[in-house]
Structure 1
Amino acid sequence: MAVESTWLEPQARAGQPTLMAGVVDIVVASYQGQHYIRQQLTSIQQNIGYLTLVNKVYIVDDGSTDETELQVKALAANDDKLIWVAAEQANLGPAGNFQRGMRLTTAPLIMLCDQDDVWFEDKIVLSVQEMQPFIDDQCPVLAFADLHVVDHDLTLLCDSYFTHKKITKSWHQQFGHLLQQNTVSGCTTIFNRALLNLALPIPEQAYMHDWWLALVAKSCGELRFIDRPLLAYRQHASNTIGAKSRSLWQRIQQRRGFVQSVQSVILQAKAFQSFYLDYPYGRLSGEALELLELVANLESLTLIQRLSVLYQGKITRSHRIARSALLWAVLCKIPYRSK
């Protein structure tokens, strides 16, 4: 089944106020993207409001050696909004590459984009409408949306990221939940310059750029959810989410990897704790601050203390399989090493 766009009803469009021209910059992180990047950029160009709402689209490369550059420049020859940004230092990784691109932006709003997805035609206009009250706001705000999960040829696999990941759509509403498990997909986000200025530089210890941006928005401003899919997330050999059938050995390896991921969450919590303590206008409750302290120092707890906080539900995950893997991590002595 091919993925189709979700259209705005005509009366909904007519009822919306006029949107500011050139209000949003889009940052596309590219690396070896020759197979899909042309289709992705074309889907952006075909979006409702692209000609008026979009200021620039920065395609920020991380050292591609395939035909990514040729394909981008072929499209850019007829569209001066498309800006190719060659790698200054290869292999920064997604977080480093996106951060480099975000620093280039000048528009009031910023959207992030993966190289291999397909945007639905109303993604830009719906995202900008959601953020319109916060365009020039000093309050840091980020909005994110749902997505369709598709295979390499855009056949629909699941009509919701949250169903695919077995996670509730309300998970982000509690800071303690978001601190331990991210549900904000960077490719669905739009945020204002107040958030960008506050969140950068993203520390090396951050698990991923989108998670860090979400934590900053949730704790210092506002994190908003657009409850509809706005893009097709392409799942292929080098870019997958969710679970597939695995052998016993693969399951064992996955659990070992989960222990390492818990360690990465601890490192991020430590970095975020340092960030938040330096910010005078935070909005976290006393309970949320206590949980931040707990997660940041999880590796220093005894086994009995770890089991206790797990039993109390202070340390948790959204799904029973993930919670069982978390128990595995707690029973192990979670290693800690500073970066």
Structure 2
Amino acid sequence: MLTLSEYPLVSIVMACYQGEKYLAIQIESLLVQDYPHMEFIFVDDASQDSSWTILEKYANQDSRLTIVRNETNIGYRKTFERGINLSKGDYIALSDQDDYWIPSKISRLVHGIGEASLIYADSELVNADGIPIGQKMSEIKRQIAYNSPIMYTFGGWAPGHSMLFKRDLLAFALPTVDFVTHDYLIGFGATCANGIRYLPEPLVYYRQHESNTIGANLRKAPKPYTSRKERNELILARLDLIQKRCPAGKNQDVLQAFLMACRGKNIPHRIDRVRIALKNRENMLAYKGKSAFGKFAYCFKLFFALY
């Protein structure tokens, strides 16, 4: 039987803001995880409700907890980043403030990650009262394994609330930026290291309510842009970011060439977009789940549009 120190340390990082309604329920589910070697880093983003009082209560009861309070509100991306930078674990798992986990979540993910840099699992959707609504995240959004950075070209995605990752990918994932989510960058960082595994098993009860910062898109979410021009600027900014963070030898050349083709508006640039996408369509379009014909046809759509 392993001693405590022989289990890799897992850091649970939570970003909290105005979370008093559900916060205690989530913390209780974290503290009863059956994995034996964990630390908890909870960062409050200058909440004005009783969130900090709740965090203090649990910190006084359990020495595994470290709680930190931002002096001013800096947003969930930078709050998660601060918590990650304070963590010491070999593995890191992110926690939302309003979900609740099954007791074996961390042990199942640690057992399943293997040589990959990140593993994520399915989630069971629940309503605001915590009651399952009969839907899984995998029934709404495509969830797959990723082994290449170019698989993130057209919408790759691994949700932060269900992931466990190794510290080595942080070199590619941080710092966060304000135009993509923190978990997008962590997922992309994992593809730059040793890839992502997917566990098709619900390990989180993912609460859907009106105050979700990021939900499962059960309702139409507002777009982060108001015009096609703004949309294209965001696409180009994201492509520029990932090609800069992608290491040489990991399809960086493909991402760089595709960015240059997307920046241009003339006929040769449009042809280059189509050509690059056709050559790499199996990986580039893996997330979209299209048929062989659908992938082929989508590439020609890029002659007229960026996405």
What is the deviation of 1:176? 2.8
2:239 to 261, 265, 269: 269
Q: Is residue 154 of structure 1 aligned with residue 120 of structure 2?
A: no
Q: Is residue 214 of structure 1 aligned with residue 205 of structure 2?
A: no
Amino acid aligned to 1:72: L
Q: Is residue 229 of structure 1 aligned with residue 229 of structure 2?
A: no
2:262 to 288, 298, 302: 298
Amino acid aligned to 1:273: Q
**TM-score, length of structure 2 as denominator length:** 0.79
**Aligned position for 2:216:** 241
**Aligned position for 1:86:** 69
Distance 2:153 2:56 in 1: 39
Name the CA shift for 1:159/1:21 in 2 (closer, same or farther; >3 Å): same
User: Which digits, 9 at most, give the CA deviation of each residue in 1:283-320, with x for residues without a partner?
Assistant: 524xx732453146524334785588469665767278
Aligned residues of 1:60 and 1:87 also touching (Cα < 8 A) = yes
What is the deviation of 1:244? 2.7
Aligned residues of 2:105 and 2:203 also touching (Cα < 8 A) = yes
Aligned residues of 2:239 and 2:255 also touching (Cα < 8 A) = no
**Aligned position for 1:145:** 121
What is the deviation of 1:223? 1.8
Identity %: 22
Amino acid aligned to 1:94: Y
Distance 1:302 1:290 in 2: 20
Q: Is there any run of 5+ residues in structure 2 with no aligned partner, and where?
A: none
**Aligned position for 1:107:** 89
Aligned residues of 2:225 and 2:231 also touching (Cα < 8 A) = no
What is the deviation of 1:33? 0.5
Aligned residues of 1:205 and 1:267 also touching (Cα < 8 A) = no
Aligned residues of 1:205 and 1:264 also touching (Cα < 8 A) = no
Distance 1:306 1:244 in 2: 34
SS at match of 1:241: coil
User: Which digits, 9 at most, give the CA deviation of each residue in 1:66-114, with x for residues without a partner?
Assistant: 11011111222211112211104x2322211111111101121111111
1:29 to 15, 35, 39: 15
Q: Is residue 201 of structure 1 aligned with residue 201 of structure 2?
A: no
1:74 to 57, 65, 82: 57
What is the deviation of 1:229? 1.4
Aligned residues of 1:171 and 1:178 also touching (Cα < 8 A) = no
Amino acid aligned to 2:109: S
Q: Is there any run of 5+ residues in structure 1 with no aligned partner, and where?
A: 1-15, 135-139, 335-339
Name the CA shift for 1:111/1:102 in 2 (closer, same or farther; >3 Å): same
What is the deviation of 1:332? 7.3
Amino acid aligned to 1:182: G
**TM-score, length of structure 1 as denominator length:** 0.73
User: Which digits, 9 at most, give the CA deviation of each residue in 1:120-143, with x for residues without a partner?
Assistant: 111011112124x55xxxxx8121
Aligned residues of 2:125 and 2:136 also touching (Cα < 8 A) = yes
What is the deviation of 1:43? 0.7
Amino acid aligned to 2:66: I
User: Which digits, 9 at most, give the CA deviation of each residue in 1:50-74, with x for residues without a partner?
Assistant: xx221x2111111111110111112
Distance 1:31 1:267 in 2: 28
Distance 1:333 1:180 in 2: 10
Distance 2:34 2:8 in 1: 13
Distance 2:183 2:73 in 1: 18
Amino acid aligned to 1:318: K
Name the CA shift for 1:218/1:257 in 2 (closer, same or farther; >3 Å): farther
Name the CA shift for 1:295/1:156 in 2 (closer, same or farther; >3 Å): farther
**Aligned position for 1:137:** none
Distance 2:224 2:87 in 1: 38
**Aligned position for 1:9:** none
Distance 1:332 1:192 in 2: 36
Distance 1:71 1:40 in 2: 11
Amino acid aligned to 1:298: C
Aligned residues of 2:123 and 2:203 also touching (Cα < 8 A) = yes
Q: What is the root-mean-square deviation of aligned Cα atoms in Å?
A: 3.7
SS at match of 2:210: coil
Amino acid aligned to 2:150: G
